[in-house]
Amino acid sequence: MVGSCNGLVCLAQRGKLSTTSDAIYLWNPSIRKFKRLPDSCSNGKGFWLSTGFGYQSKTNDYKVVKLRGTPVVAEVYTLCSDSWRKVEISLRSKVVVSGIEPSSSPLFFSGALHWIAYHSEGEVEFQDPTMILSFDVDNEKFGEMALPAGDKLSEHSLFVFKGNVAFISCGYAENDDDLQSDSQCFIWVMRDYGVDESWNKLLSIRFENADIIFYGCIEHGELLLDKKVKEESKDGEIKIDESMILSDDTAIVSLDPETLHEKDLGILRYVTHIVTTFKESLVLLDGATGLSG
């Protein structure tokens, strides 16, 4: 699932090989209709790094953006034209976007898509994320914003926290005994959108003897997490409690970041979860295929 805007859900089915076409669909669950998008200009010519979905309010149009290659090239689909076109990525000199954070879906916020990205300057390539690549769906221009300064862990994501862009970094916490038993999350909030200096570290949360996967944030600021609790064996070895993996005792919880109160959501935990906002609409009445059954 790529994302959701105004009742439309964008789904992408990637080809198994670099020469296999990708299939992208726009689906309205409320009216049970979907539309398969035409193939893009470069479909089947290499692996796509990421796909984003956004809404242009001025023209009441929906856009899908695909990023591919090194340096990154972009193509944009508009629902009104039902066609793709290439878009140039022009960033500051001597900086080339060399990769997109693979575990993070782009965030659509304030009329723009946002990716956590890497860049290279000269011959030096940075392995840690160094920037946010943005795409304004109105003028179709790419831009960049700085990530917050500070330590980064292994997993990163952008999300909306109480009306502001937020950045979360999760991974194993440092322990004196070098055992990777605890997890930790750092959260920064951009108080003034687009102003790099307005990043503010909101909090740091440590989870003892647990693995954490961050899924998203709901309206009132609760974090949605996959929490796998570990247990300590008699010989002192830390291991995952297997009963938490696929049992009825779900590990999907909501967490209030201020009180640290956890709530079991009663959702069965499978291999992958994706969280997005959704509201019902009648969009996609024309040129769409109805679902039977």
DSSP 8-state code for residue 277: -
Residues with Cβ within 8 Å of 171's Cβ and at least 6 positions away in sequence, in order, are 153, 154, 155, 183, 184
Query: Residue 291 is encoded by which pair of tokens?
Result: 């679902």
Instruction: Please provide the DSSP assignment of 5-71 as one string.
Output: ETTEEEEEE--SSTTSPPEEEEEETTTTEEEEPPPPTTTTSS-EEEEEEEEETTTTEEEEEEEETTT
Question: Which range is least confidently modeled, 51-65, 195-209, 227-241, 275-289?
Answer: 227-241
CA atoms within 13 A on the CB side of 78: 14
What is the average per-residue pLDDT within 119-130? 64
Residue with tokens 């590990």, as numbered in its chain: 251
CB 283 within 8 A of CB 6: yes
**Residues 89, 119: Cα–Cα separation, whole Å:** 13
Q: Is 244 helix (H, G, I), strand (E, B) or coil?
A: helix
What is the average per-residue pLDDT within 225-237? 61
Angle at 98 between CA 92 and CA 104, to 5 degrees: 105
Query: Residue 34 is encoded by which pair of tokens?
Result: 């979907």
Q: What is the pLDDT of residue 50?
A: 85
**Residues 162, 109: Cα–Cα separation, whole Å:** 12
Residues 36-72 pLDDT 10s: 999 887 765 556 678 999 999 999 999 999 987 766 7
Q: What is the pLDDT of residue 81?
A: 93
